[in-house]
Amino acid sequence: MALVVAVCALSALLVNMAVAVFHDGVRPFMLDHRQGRMKRREITPLAFSLSAGFVFGLGAPMAFSTGVLNPWILFLPTDVLGLLAARRWLAVVLGAVWALLVVFGLSRATQAAQSLPVDFLTAMQSLSDPVMYLFAFFPAVAVAYQFGRARGAIAFAVEGVLMLASAHVWKGVFPGALSMAVGMLLLVGLALHHDLVKRRAAREEARARGARPPVPDTSADSLFGANAKRLRTHLPWLMALGGLVGTLCATGAFAGGEATSYLVQHGDMVNAAQVDFYRTFGFVPLIGLTSLASGTFATNGVNFVYAVGYIAPNVAVAALAGAAVFTVEVLALTQLGKLFAHVPSVQDAADHIRHAINQVLELGILFGSVLAGMRMAGGTGIALVGGMYVLNEAMGRPVIRLAAAPVAVICTGLLLNVAYWSHLFTPLKG
């Protein structure tokens, strides 16, 4: 509890100081805020409108169903509270109060749910397997999006064979581990090869015309340099934040992603580290470049702190490792910006990774939610969960798609309990 309070209080303070913001859509506006072109009363409603759906539609249901905290329920509200506060001390207080509300509220809600005749929280453990196994194929999906159907099919075939072989040969290892790693190598390799071929062709064309070879655009270097220097000035604050986030991950009370919430719930920290490590590559360009452009870092850094925290042997090591990860990320920002100017296909690959991850997670969570419905009430549970999901689609998605299926499971569980008390439903045995 003390650790969650400290993380939320510090993250709200750093938002107030325009040093770190979690929401990628809010971060670009922080430069205008720092330079006086946008006031707090203008940017706070914007941050709330961008975050509310993720807090109540994704973060809260995910935390409730797994018992594991996540960035959407902790850091998106501290974005808003940090911007709302007129004084730094008030930002600290508001962040701490939010942390207490989350911890006590989640604990009481979980206890109440588990005391019901139909325990839908236990049924929601069915989400873990579809999410974990399908997630292993997101690199193949990204390859298909970026490099076409043929290469996507080849990547999927390679991953599928490796998954089958892993399940047969290394029975104690998660079967998707090797396939996910090789899929990421294929994607990055194809992106680098595409850039090299394109650069070689451009040089040959320039040579044929007698012109100088094209060079990457570095016109933003001066702005990037000033903003990177600002972040280095605030490095002690960011090191403290990285240490706290890493420590929170090491406790098993916090997970950085949708898939890893279910892994951490079952104590599978090694696979959680691997999943969030590969997932990070989809966010490095986005977080790195928005941090350079705005002079405001991300509350979770470039995401590597999650994987480091999961596998740390104890909280002391996790704190030191988290601080070290944030240090390296901040110091490497300038070089990161220059790197992506030279390898645009790798930056494009990151966009496709994020899209592929969302698609795979949506499908895995939907499959798992349908299984949870079946576990609670057989065919009736399938119909209720699936029907609510389809209804959400027809209504224009008032609940975002990633969270729609878990929310449907929770609503189905509550409905089945009402039916039980009304003598209209008998819980399934076992």
Give the pLDDT confidence score for residue 411 in this predicted structure: 92
The answer on 334 and 223 residing in a single domain is yes
Tokens 């189905």 correspond to 412
Same domain, 127 and 153: yes
On whether both 183 and 34 belong to a single domain, the answer is no
The reply to whether 178 and 291 lie within a common domain is: no
pLDDT means per 10 residues, the chain with 430 residues, are 95 94 88 84 86 82 87 94 93 96 88 86 82 87 93 94 86 77 88 84 76 56 73 94 96 89 86 86 83 89 93 94 95 81 79 87 90 92 95 90 87 93 83
* Cα separation of the two ends of the chain: 34
Q: Which pLDDT value is given to residue 220? A: 47
For Cα atoms 249, 173, 69, give the angle at the middle one, nearest 5 degrees. Answer: 20
**What is the C-alpha separation between 182 and 194, in angstroms, rounded?**
18
Give the residue from 94, 106, 19, 25 showing the smallest Cα distance to 59. Answer: 106
User: On the CB side of 415, how many CA atoms lie within 13 Å of its CA?
Assistant: 15
Residue 21's contacts (CB-CB under 8 Å, 6 or more residues apart) are 15, 27, 30, 79, 296, 297, 298, 299
Q: Does one domain contain both 272 and 406?
A: no
For residue 339 the two structure tokens come to 């790197």
From 320, 342, 364, the end of a domain falls on 342
Containing structural domain, residue 322: 2-115+219-342
CA nearest to 135, candidates 362, 292, 344: 362
Q: Is residue 168 within 8 Å of 178, Cβ to Cβ? A: no
Residues 285 and 385 in one domain: no
Question: Is 28 found in the same domain as 41?
Answer: yes
Are 413 and 402 in a shared domain? Answer: yes
What pLDDT sits at residue 54? 83
Q: How many domains does the chain divide into?
A: 2
Domain boundary among 342, 372, 397: 342
pLDDT value, residue 413: 92
Closest CA to 110 of 47, 63, 161, 154: 63
One domain for residues 295 and 151: no
Query: Where among 321, 342, 363 does a domain terminate?
Result: 342
